[in-house]
Structure 1
Amino acid sequence: MPVISEPAGFNEEDLYVDLQSIFGRPLFLKCEGFNFAGSIKLKPATEMVEAAEREGTITPDSILVESSSGNMGVALSVIAASKGYRFLCVTDSRCNLSTRLLMEALGAQVQVVTEPSPESGFLGARLEHIRRLCLRDKRYVWLSQYTNAYNWKAHYHRTAPAIARWFPHLDVLFVGAGTTGTLMGCARWFRRWHRPVRIVAVDTVGSVTFGGAPGRRMLPGLGMSIRPPLLDTSYVDEAIQVEEADTIRACHRLASHGFLFGGSTGTVVSGAIDWLSRYDTRPPTAVAIAPDLGERYLDTIYQANWIHALYGDDILPADARPHAGPRQAPSAPSAPSVRSPGTP
C-alpha cells in the first residue's frame, strides 16, 4: 500500500491496455494519466520545478509562470500547491473549461489569450504575453517547457526505462508530439538501448512541427504552431499526422469499450493503428504512450453539439454518436485515415 505526503509521490508507471480486441491490431497502450495531475505532464513539471529549486532560481517571492494548453498547467498547479508556490498559467481559448476550473481550484491564476499571433498562432501570442509579464515583474519565473531540457530528461530517466522493463523486445514506439519532451526523452533513451526501436512521432494535421502546413487545430495537446525548440529530428524515424476527426473517432471507439481517454491519446492511437494496418510482415511488438485521460474532454470530444458544430454531423457513425443509446461493439475494425508529411 503506497503512502505519500505530496501528490508527486504517486504515479502509476506500469499500466498498459491491450488494444488488440478493440482495433484488431497488436498495440499496447501505456496509460500515463493515473496520478494527481491526470496526465504524463506531472513528470516534467516535477523535474523542471525541482531543477529550478536546485539552481536557486525560485525564491519565496517567486511566481511560477508557464504557457500551457492544459495538461502542463494542471501539473504545475498541483506541484505549486504542494510546495506553497504561486503559479500563473497562460493559456488560450481552446483550453477546456474544466481544465481552467481545475487549475483555479488548485490555487493557480489563469490568464486566457483570446487573439492568436498572425505569424505564430495562439502559442506565439501566449509566449509573447509571458515575455511582457517577465519584463514588467522580476518575480516571475518562467519554466519554459518548450526549451527546458528537464522536460525531455524526465522521460529519459523515467518513461522510457519503464517501457523497456516490460517490453524487452520492443520494435516500435508511438509517441505524440507536442513540446516533444516525451518524444525526445524516449527517443534518446532507446537510441542507446541494446536493440533498435523504431520511433514514430504522431502529430496532428495543422501542426508545423515536422514541416506540415499550418491549419486550424481545435483540440489542445499535441501539435505546435512553431517548430519545437526541443525537437531533434535525427532521433525520429518517422512522423505521421492525424486528422482531428480521426482523433475523435478513436476516442469514441475506446469509450465504447469503457476506456475514456483524452484527445492526445486518441491522436496517438489513431496514428498507431493506421501505421500498423500497413505492416505486411510479422506484427511488431508495439507500444503507444497515452498522455491523458478523458474527463477534461467531456464538453468537447464527448459532447455531441460541439463535435457537430466543428466537424459536421457525419464524423461518427450513427451508432457511435454521443447519447445514441446502447449499441453492439463493431464486428470488424476499420483503420482511421492518416496523412503523413514523410520521414523527417
Structure 2
Amino acid sequence: MPVISAPHAFNESQLYVDLEPTLGRSLFLKCEGFNFAGSIKLKAASEMVETAERDGDLKPESILVESSSGNLGVALSMIAASKGYRFLCVTDSRCNLSTRLLMEALGSRVHTIAGREAKGGFLGARINYVRALCDSDDRYVWLSQYTNPSNWKAHYRKTAPEIAQHFPRLDVLFVGAGTTGTLMGCARYFRQWHRPVRIVAVDSVGSVTFGGPPGRRMIPGLGMSMPPPLLDESYVDEVIRVEETDTIRTCHRLARSGFLFGGSTGTVVSGAMRWLDDHDTRGLTAVAIAPDLGERYLDTIYQSNWLHDLYGEDILGPDETADDPWAAGPVTAFQESRPPHPPANR
C-alpha cells in the first residue's frame, strides 16, 4: 500500500486494458490517467519542475506560467500547490470548463485567450501572451513544454521502460502526438531496444504537426497549430490522422462498455483500430497509450447539445444509437404505488 505526502508522488503505471473483448482487436491500452492530476501530463510536469529547481531557475518568489490546453495545466497546478509556487495557466476557449475550474480550485490563475493568430492559431496567441508576461516581469518562469527536453525525457525514463517491462515482445506502439513529448521519449527508447518496434504516431485531422493544412479542432489535447519543436520525424515509422467525429464515436463506444476515457485516448484508440484493421495482426503485440480519462469531457464529448451543435444530430451514427439501452423510447416516470381509494360512505 503506497503512502505519500505529496500528490505528485503517486502515479499508477502498471494498469492496462485488454480491448479485444470490447473492440474485437488485440490491443493493450496503457492507462495513464490514474493519478491526482488525471493524465499522463503529470510525468512531464514533474520532470520539468524538478529540472528547473535543480538548475536554479525556480525560486520561492517565482511565478510559474505555461501555455496549456488543459491537462498539463492541471498537473502544474497540483505540483505548484504542493510545492508552494504560484501558477498562471494560459489557455484558450477550447479548454473544458471542468478543467478550468479544477485549476482554480487548486489555487492557480487561469487566463483564457479569446482570439487566435493568423498563422499560429490559438497556440500562437497563447505563446505570445506568455512571452509578453515574461518580458514584463522576471518573476515569471516559463517551462515551455513545447521546447523543453525534460518533456520527452520524462517518457524516455518512465513511460517507455514501463511498457518494455510488461511487453518484452512488443511489435507496435501507438502514441498520440501533441507537443510530441510522449512520442519522442518512447520512440527514442524503443529505437535502442533489443527488437524493432514500429512507432505509429496518431494525430488529429486539422493539426499541422506532420504537415497538411490547418483545420478546425474543437477537442483539446492532441494536435498542434504550429510545428512542434520537439518532433524528430526520423523516429516515427507511420502517422495516422483521425477525424474528431471518429474520436467521439470511439469514446462513446468505449463508454458503452464502461470505460470512460478522454478525447486524446479516443483519438489514439481510433487510429490504432484503423491500423489494426488494415494489417495482419496474427501473433502481433500492440500497445496504445491512453493519456487521459473522461470526466473532464462530460460537458463536451459526452454532452449531447455540444455534440449536435458542432457535429450535427447524427454524430454518433446508427450503430451507437442501436447500442443505447434507452433508445427504444421514453421511459415512463416512476409513480408511487398506492392502494385504491376506499368507496365513499353513502
User: Under a length normalisation based on structure 2, what TM-score does the superposition of the two structures give?
Assistant: 0.93
SS in 1 for 2:239: strand
2:320 is aligned to: 320
Match of 1:165 in 2: 165
Name the SS for the 1:150 alignment partner: helix
Structure 1 counterpart of 2:52, one-letter code: A
The letter for the 1-side match of 2:236 is V
Give the letter aligned to residue 141 of structure 1.
Answer: V
Corresponding residue for residue 33 of structure 1? 33
Q: Amino acid of the residue matched to residue 30 of structure 2?
A: K
Kept in 2, the 8 Å contact 1:26–1:283? The answer is no
- Matches for 1:285-324 after TM superposition, within 5 Å: 285-318=285-318, 320=320
- Cα 1:323/1:139, change in 2 over 3 Å: farther
Amino acid at match of 1:125: A
Structure-2 residue corresponding to 1:98: 98
Over aligned residues, Cα RMSD in angstroms?
Answer: 1.5
TM-score calculated relative to the size of structure 1: 0.93
Distance 2:267 2:107 in 1: 30
What is the CA distance between 1:119 and its match in structure 2? 1.0
Partner Cα separation in structure 2 for residue 53 and residue 210 of structure 1 = 33
Report 1:1-344 matches (<5 A): 1-280=1-280, 282-318=282-318, 320=320, 325-326=325-326
User: Deviation at 1:282?
Assistant: 2.3
Q: Measured at CA, do residues 83 and 281 of structure 1 come closer, stay the same or move farther in structure 2, by a change above 3 Å?
A: closer
Letter matched to residue 112 of structure 2: V
- 1: CA distance, partners of 2:183 / 2:59: 31
In the TM superposition, what is the alpha-carbon distance from 1:323 to its structure 2 partner? 12
Q: Can you list the C-alpha shifts for 1:118-147, whole angstroms capped at 9, x where unaligned?
A: 111000000000010001111000000000
1:295-338 CA distance string (max 9 Å, x none): 0000000000100110111111356359954479xxxxxxxxxx
2:170–2:197 CA contact under 8 A, matched in 1? yes
Counterpart code for 1:51:
T
The residue that corresponds to 1:336 in the other structure is none
Paired with 1:166 and 1:160, the residues of 2 have a C-alpha distance of 10
Query: Residue 318 of structure 1 contacts residue 324 of structure 1 at CA under 8 Å; is this kept in 2?
Result: no
Question: Alpha-carbon deviation of 1:158?
Answer: 0.2
Partner Cα separation in structure 2 for residue 321 and residue 2 of structure 1: 42
Measure the CA separation in 1 of the matches of 2:252 and 2:240. 21
SS in 2 for 1:39: coil
Counterpart-to-counterpart distance in 2, 1:212 and 1:106: 38
Structure 1 runs (4+) deviating above 2 angstroms are 280-283, 317-328
Point out the more displaced range, 276-285 or 255-264: 276-285
C-alpha distance after superposition, 1:86-137 (max 9, x if no partner): 0000000000000000000000000000001011100000000001000111
Change in Cα spacing, 1:217 to 1:322, as seen in structure 2 (3 Å) is farther
Aligned length: 328
Q: How far did 1:276 drift?
A: 0.2
Contact 1:303/1:322 (8 A) holds in 2: no
Residue 26 of structure 1 aligns with an amino acid whose one-letter code is S
Q: Is the Cα–Cα contact under 8 Å of residues 18 and 28 in structure 2 kept in the other structure?
A: yes
The answer to whether the 8 Å contact 1:174/1:289 transfers is yes
1:42 deviation in Å? 0.3
For residues 105 and 176 of structure 1, what CA distance do their matches in structure 2 show? 28
The separation in 2 between residues aligned to 1:122 and 1:320, in whole angstroms, is 32
The 8 Å contact of residues 246 and 270 in structure 2, kept in 1 or not, is answered as yes
Separation in structure 2 between the aligned mates of residue 300 and residue 210 of structure 1, nearest angstrom: 26
2:77–2:108 contact (8 Å) kept in structure 1? yes
Structure 1 residue 14 displacement after superposition: 0.4
Displacement of 1:238 = 0.4
- Deviations 1:273-309 (Å, cap 9, x if unpaired)? 0000001352520000000000000000000010011
In 2, Cα distance between the equivalents of 1:39 and 1:326? 31
Report if aligned partners of 1:44, 1:154 keep a CA contact under 8 Å in 2.
yes
Superposed CA offset, 1:260-282 (max 9, x none): 00000000000000000001352
Partner Cα separation in structure 2 for residue 216 and residue 283 of structure 1: 38
Structure 1 regions of 5+ residues with no counterpart?
Answer: 329-344
Secondary structure of the residue aligned to 2:118 is coil
Identity %: 74
| Cα distance in structure 1, aligned partners of 2:50 and 2:318 | 49
Residue 65 of structure 2 aligns with an amino acid whose one-letter code is: V
Give the greater-gyration-radius structure (CA): 2
Is this contact kept in 1: 2:202–2:242, CA < 8 A?
yes
Secondary structure of 1:89's aligned partner:
strand
